[in-house]
Amino acid sequence: MSAVVQLLLRRLGISLIVLVGVSMLVFGIARIIPGDPARIALGPNATVEQIAKLRSSMHLDESIVVQYGHFIKDLSRGDLGMSLYTNRPVTLDIAEFLPATLELVIVAGLLMIGIGLPLGRWSARYRGRLADHVIRLVSLLGVSAPSFVWAVILMLLFAFFLPLFPIAGRISDTYTIERVTGFLLVDTLWAGNFQAFSNALWHIVLPAFALALSGIGQAARLTRANMIETYDKPYIEMAQAYGFSGRRIANRFAFKPSLIPSLTIIGLDFAAMLGNAFLVEAVFAWPGLSRYGVAVILRKDLNAIIGTVLIISATFLLVNLIVDLLIAFLNPRIRHSQRQTS
Amino acid sequence: MTPVLAIENLHLGFKGYTGYTEVLHGISLSINPAERVALVGESGSGKSVTARIILGLLQEVRGATIRGELRFLQHDLNSIGTKHWRDLRGTRMSMIFQDPTSALNPVFTVGVQFIEVLRRGSAPLSEAAALSRASALLQSVSINDPERVLQAYPFQLSGGMNQRVMIAMALANNPALLIADEPGTALDVTVQAQTLDLMNQLVASHNTAMLFISHNLGVVREFADRIYVIYRGRIVEQGPTAAVFNDPGHPYTRALMAAVPRITGGGIADIPDTSDEFLQPCVNHGSAL
């Protein structure tokens, strides 16, 4: 069995265990916090009989272990239960709201990698010179303010004082796009409507930047630090002694070994954006999972809370899995150490 | 005969927080075509910085001040500009490093690194052509299964194997000058002897001049045609190997030779770390040629 497949299977197994743990934890916490979900759902005018009926249909009158058993049985059929807030299956709700959040996080992640890594590389190559100082200052700024602060600042500067970008939303109301994946950037292209695509892109710029700024700073700082360490290695001196240009050494010989340690942290940052996205979405009125998540938490909508948390955990694990595979792909020492143990 | 390399009155100093520190105090040396010249001295005597000045690497370090004539083939290295100097590296002059395993990039296969080096030489070279050339070069350094080595990463090969790869890479573009900075010091003695032998044969067959940097007098005696002894940034003695070994004229050279442990026993002679005698002017045995 190939080393990468073996690694993939092992990581999948671990992810599954983590997911089960998360489900138990959230399930337990949601049941322990005070307040009767059935009573909250039915409102103040509900009769005792109505509440009792809803409680028994939600299995709330049984022991927590039995309740968890019901939950797992339903989950295996892809059923997360009904949301008491929207009166629809939780899976439907999540399918509706998750793509908007994922779209935002993916664009922000791409910005982080596409801007942060080159900035760090540039900074390390021109270490101690003006470009390095400027990049370090900017990335420190990016890291030191949380993303919702950036969201407010960017919105004020580039949507309000200087109206270059829209204030809120995913796309202008004038466009009606048939929903295929829920990712507007994909759906507009699918429909062949490039005007709508550029409009959606125009809408995502500010929220994605607000979400990405701290990640960009982090990625730049890490890449710089790792590359400066790499620059002291004998193989870089060897590359210099063989007359490779400074640009080639920076972009190839020093960058690849430095990327491996950076990537782990970048992966974690990427996953952390899922959480930060909640606040950025709130600022930009982005119709993502955050509005839904906050609403269901406040209403103690058990099924919806558990569903939302599970989906976010699963996404987090998926991102980590992808990062691990990428690292294995980039780092021959990992790939080959796996082979030896098999 | 025009020398491959001629250094005249080379000074090197570093500007630091504590002021200016001079490291090389005007050293002169020359290497003729196909000649093997050793630069011998203790740690910190200025051997390795000299090598890095010849390659033009130290010139890019801020705070380093370098004065002196540097001629390589027909080029006046001080006037050709960094770009042109860089073009000479890896093509007309190349270098072998002390620890072969850490001098090869850990995240690229030997084959990929070899192709990069070959492409420094002749301009457009297809991957297949480069690989078959690399394969032939590896065979010339007695690697019997070049295909496997080309696909391997440096950490999968032994130190001796990596050293051979380094030698093959260094000679890949037929340089006029090969600088070997303490080659194989990181390897065990038997492997070191084997690879040095190999390097010696290859240098002879390529007609490459070699600057051999070492503190190991035994190795130097065996492989060098001519010796420069360097002490604290000054050349203290120079001449043909036999002449220097048979009749060491400078007190430092005598001390250096006395410091070599002998298999016949008797311990190491009592040698002072420093002595005013060591600062006596250079002893010149003349040229063997």
How many residues in total does chain A contain?
A: 342
Does the pLDDT at position B230 exceed 70?
A: yes
Q: What is the pLDDT of residue A337?
A: 63
Q: Are B7 and B27 in contact (CB under 8 A)?
A: yes
Which amino acid appears at position B162 of this protein? N
Interface test with B, best of A227, A238, A256 (most B CBs within 10 A): A238
Q: Which residue has the higher pLDDT, B130 or A331?
A: B130
Does the pLDDT at position A49 exceed 70?
A: yes
Q: Which residues pair with B226 in a beta bridge?
A: B37, B240
Does the pLDDT at position B288 exceed 80?
A: no
Q: What is the pLDDT of residue B178?
A: 94
With contacts defined as CB-CB under 8 Å, which chain B residues touch A241? 55, 57, 89-90, 94-95, 97
A285/A279 Cα distance (integer angstroms): 10
Look up residue B45 and give its DSSP letter: S
**Beta pairing class for B209-214 and B177-181:** parallel
Q: Are A201 and A188 in contact (CB under 8 A)?
A: no
Q: Are B172 and B85 in contact (CB under 8 A)?
A: no
Does the pLDDT at position A34 exceed 70?
A: yes
Q: Which residues pair with B29 in a beta bridge?
A: B7
Q: Which residue has the higher pLDDT, B123 or B191?
A: B191
Taking residues B5-16, what's their average pLDDT?
91
Does the pLDDT at position B203 exceed 70?
A: yes
B255/B42 Cα distance (integer angstroms): 11
A106/A208 Cα distance (integer angstroms): 9
Does the pLDDT at position B15 exceed 50?
A: yes
The partner residue sitting opposite A332, judged by closest CB among B86, B98, B153, is B153
The confidence band for B287, taking pLDDT boundaries of 50, 70 and 90, is: low
Give percent of chain A above pLDDT 70.
98
Least confident of A61-65, A96-100, A101-105, B166-170: A61-65
Q: What is the pLDDT of residue B268?
A: 67
Half-sphere exposure (Cβ direction) of A259: Cα atoms closer than 13 Å: 23
A145/A213 Cα distance (integer angstroms): 9
Does the pLDDT at position B10 exceed 90?
A: yes
Does the pLDDT at position B249 exceed 60?
A: yes
Q: What is the pLDDT of residue A133?
A: 94
Does the pLDDT at position B184 exceed 80?
A: no
Half-sphere exposure (Cβ direction) of A226: Cα atoms closer than 13 Å: 24
Q: Are A242 and A215 in contact (CB under 8 A)?
A: no
B38/B241 Cα distance (integer angstroms): 9
Rounded (5°) CA angle B37-B43-B49: 60
Our separate counts of H helices and E strands in chain A read 16, 0
Q: Are A306 and A80 in contact (CB under 8 A)?
A: yes
Q: What is the pLDDT of residue A83?
A: 84
With contacts defined as CB-CB under 8 Å, which chain A residues touch B153? 332-333, 336
| Token pair in block for residue B256 | 């250096």
pLDDT, tens digit (0-9, with 9 covering 90-100), for A186-219? 888 888 888 888 999 999 999 999 999 999 999 9
Taking residues A274-296, what's their average pLDDT?
86
A319/A54 Cα distance (integer angstroms): 38
Give percent of chain B above pLDDT 70.
97
pLDDT, tens digit (0-9, with 9 covering 90-100), for B108-130? 999 999 999 999 887 678 889 89
Q: Are B91 and B174 in contact (CB under 8 A)?
A: no
Does the pLDDT at position B289 exceed 70?
A: no
The confidence band for B104, taking pLDDT boundaries of 50, 70 and 90, is: very high
What mean pLDDT, rounded, does chain B reach? 87
Interface test with A, best of B52, B62, B72, B107 (most A CBs within 10 A): B107
The verdict on a CB contact (< 8 Å) between B102 and A234 is yes
pLDDT, tens digit (0-9, with 9 covering 90-100), for A124-165? 999 888 999 999 999 999 888 888 899 999 999 998 898 888
Size of interface A-B (CB pairs under 8 A): 71
Domain limits of chain A? 3-76, 90-298
The confidence band for A1, taking pLDDT boundaries of 50, 70 and 90, is: low
Residue of B nearest to A253 (CA): B105
Closest to A69 measured CA to CA, from A59, A61, A78:
A59
A58/A72 Cα distance (integer angstroms): 14
A306/A78 Cα distance (integer angstroms): 13
The verdict on a CB contact (< 8 Å) between A234 and B97 is yes
Number of other residues whose CB lies within 10 A of the CB of residue A108:
28
The partner residue sitting opposite B107, judged by closest CB among A239, A241, A331, is A331
Q: Are B14 and B21 in contact (CB under 8 A)?
A: yes
The confidence band for A299, taking pLDDT boundaries of 50, 70 and 90, is: confident
Rounded (5°) CA angle B186-B41-B261: 70
Coil, strand, or helix at residue B209?
strand
B103/A85 Cα distance (integer angstroms): 63
A79/A303 Cα distance (integer angstroms): 10
Does the pLDDT at position B270 exceed 60?
A: yes
**Would you call B262 exposed, middle or buried from its count of C-beta atoms within 10 A (0-12, 13-18, 19+)?**
exposed
Which amino acid appears at position A77 of this protein? R
Taking the mean position of all CA atoms in its chain, how far away is CA A218? 16
Q: Provide the CATH topology of domain A90-298.
A: MetI-like fold (1.10.3720)
B205/B1 Cα distance (integer angstroms): 20
| Token pair in block for residue B82 | 């960094």
Coil, strand, or helix at residue B1?
coil
Which parts of chain B are beta strand (E)? 5-16, 19-31, 36-40, 64-72, 75-76, 93-96, 177-181, 209-214, 226-231, 234-240, 283-284
Coil, strand, or helix at residue A26?
helix
User: Which residue's entry shows tokens 């991102």?
Assistant: A319
Q: Which residue has the higher pLDDT, A5 or B68?
A: B68
Q: What is the pLDDT of residue B183?
A: 83
Rounded (5°) CA angle A55-A60-A61: 90
Q: Are A233 and B102 in contact (CB under 8 A)?
A: yes
Q: How far is A331 from chain B (nearest CA, A)?
A: 6
pLDDT, tens digit (0-9, with 9 covering 90-100), for A218-259? 999 999 999 999 999 999 999 999 989 889 999 999 999 998
B241/B224 Cα distance (integer angstroms): 7
Does the pLDDT at position B53 exceed 90?
A: yes
